[in-house]
């Protein structure tokens, strides 16, 4: 008996074929930009190698240092690591930004915050 085309497609998907990653970057960026926040887009980077840095090309960045602290007061966030991460995100891609939100409370000095704001303005936020 012949196998149907749909059954073959489903079988291929079960064999590890990643059909979503075959979509054009622009479509994937639209999908990522519709997620709840930058953190969810970052989590998508584990899907495949192709998705690893795709989140860095979305035009809306929302980074909050305090997220998670209210859920786990014992959580210790490395301030230097976060500072380097924000700088890397802002300087990584030269694409224009539609929006930029950063919540870092009073963990950083104004010089650092001004650098981040300047980097966002350069990206035409």
Looking at residue 72, what is its pLDDT?
A: 47
Q: Higher pLDDT residue, 123 or 3?
A: 123
pTM: 0.66
Per-residue pLDDT reduced to its tens digit, 51-61: 888 888 888 88
Please state, for a pLDDT cut of 70, what percent of the chain lies above it.
76
Compute CA distances 11 → 21, 22, 50, 51, whole Å: 17, 17, 22, 23
Per-residue pLDDT reduced to its tens digit, 13-64: 545 567 888 889 889 888 888 887 788 888 888 888 888 888 888 888 888 8
Mean pLDDT of 74-102: 78
Token output for 50 = 């192709």
Cα–Cα distance measured from residue 11 to residue 18, given in angstroms and rounded to the nearest whole number:
12
Cα–Cα distance measured from residue 7 to residue 12, given in angstroms and rounded to the nearest whole number:
9
């Amino acid at each position: 008996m012949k196998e149907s085309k749909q059954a073959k497609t489903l079988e291929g998907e079960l064999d590890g074929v990643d059909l979503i990653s075959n979509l054009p970057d622009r479509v994937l960026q639209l999908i990522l930009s519709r997620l709840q926040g930058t953190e969810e887009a970052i989590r998508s980077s584990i899907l495949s190698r192709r998705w690893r840095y795709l989140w860095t090309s979305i035009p809306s960045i929302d980074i909050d240092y305090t997220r998670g602290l209210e859920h786990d007061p014992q959580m210790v966030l490395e301030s230097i690591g976060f500072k380097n991460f924000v700088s890397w995100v802002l300087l990584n891609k030269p694409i224009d930004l539609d929006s930029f939100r950063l919540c870092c409370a009073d963990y950083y000095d104004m010089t650092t915050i001004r650098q981040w704001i300047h980097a966002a303005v350069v990206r035409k936020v």
